[in-house]
Amino acid sequence: MGRHREFDPDEALHIALQVFRRRGYEGTSISDLTEAMGITRPSLYAAFGNKEDLFRRTLDLYERQHLCFAHEALQAPTARTAVERLLRGYVDVLTDPMSPPGCLGVNGAVACSEASESIREELIARRMVNENNLRDRLEKARSDGDFPSDEDPADWARYVVSVGLGMAVRAASGTSREELQRVVDVAMRSWPTAPR
């Protein structure tokens, strides 16, 4: 009996992340993954489960490695600074020259068919966690007098996330880091001023 080829599961997961990020969930086949990872189908299934399980693990890795800036950004002393750090940090992730352009969550969700509904729902749920975290930060800012009392934190969180999603689509289409930074500049010009 032949010996099974050994591989580093962590390295394989990083490779899978790049493949999914470049092609999206539905655009990635098991053959794409096994070829890029340098492993056989049985090895992939044994180490990671099915494609859906592997994608969820790559989402966890993506959040740990690429979106970790968001927690720190929300700790900024003012709501405006927190939002600006979120948007500028996201631009850095979207245009990282060491990774495919765009966002794994957006690239994965945009082209999901009914067959991949559970993945689409997973991506939406993760995005809502981020939006809710931002809303909570803005609600705190409002109660601290750092955000106008007549503005709705949920509306602003939705707006900021929508700007981010739009930037992700633009980045995947080749928009430069500099152009996306100008999008942030415009978005921040619309930021409401708290009464003094």
Reported as a single tens digit per residue, the pLDDT across 28-37 is 999 999 999 9
Distance, in Å, from the CA atom of 150 to the CA atom of 5, rounded to the nearest integer, reads 62
CA pair distance 188, 196, nearest whole angstrom: 19
Instruction: Fill in the amino acid letter for 185.
Output: D
Supply the pLDDT for residue 18. Answer: 93
Q: Which band of pLDDT confidence, cut at 50, 70 and 90, is reported for residue 120?
A: confident
What Å distances lie between residue 92 and 4, 54, 134, 158, CA to CA? 40, 25, 19, 21
Q: Are 68 and 176 within 8 A, CB to CB?
A: no
Indicate whether 21 and 106 sit together in one domain.
Answer: no
Q: For the chain, how many structural domains are there in total?
A: 2
Whether 99 is covered by a domain: the verdict is: yes
Tokens (6 digits) for 185: 């500049």
Q: Domain check: are 172 and 135 in the same one?
A: yes
> What CATH number does the domain containing 46 carry?
1.10.10.60
- What does the pLDDT read at residue 150? 95
Mean pLDDT confidence for 71-92 = 97
Residue 195 lies in a domain: no
**What average pLDDT does the chain have?**
91
More confident site: 181 or 22: 181
* 154 and 99 in a common domain: yes
The answer to whether residues 13 and 72 belong to one domain is no
How crowded is residue 182: how many other Cβ atoms within 10 Å of its Cβ? Answer: 13
Q: What residue numbers bound the domain in which 125 lies? A: 66-188
> Do 113 and 48 share a structural domain?
no
State yes or no: pLDDT of 113 exceeds 70. Answer: no
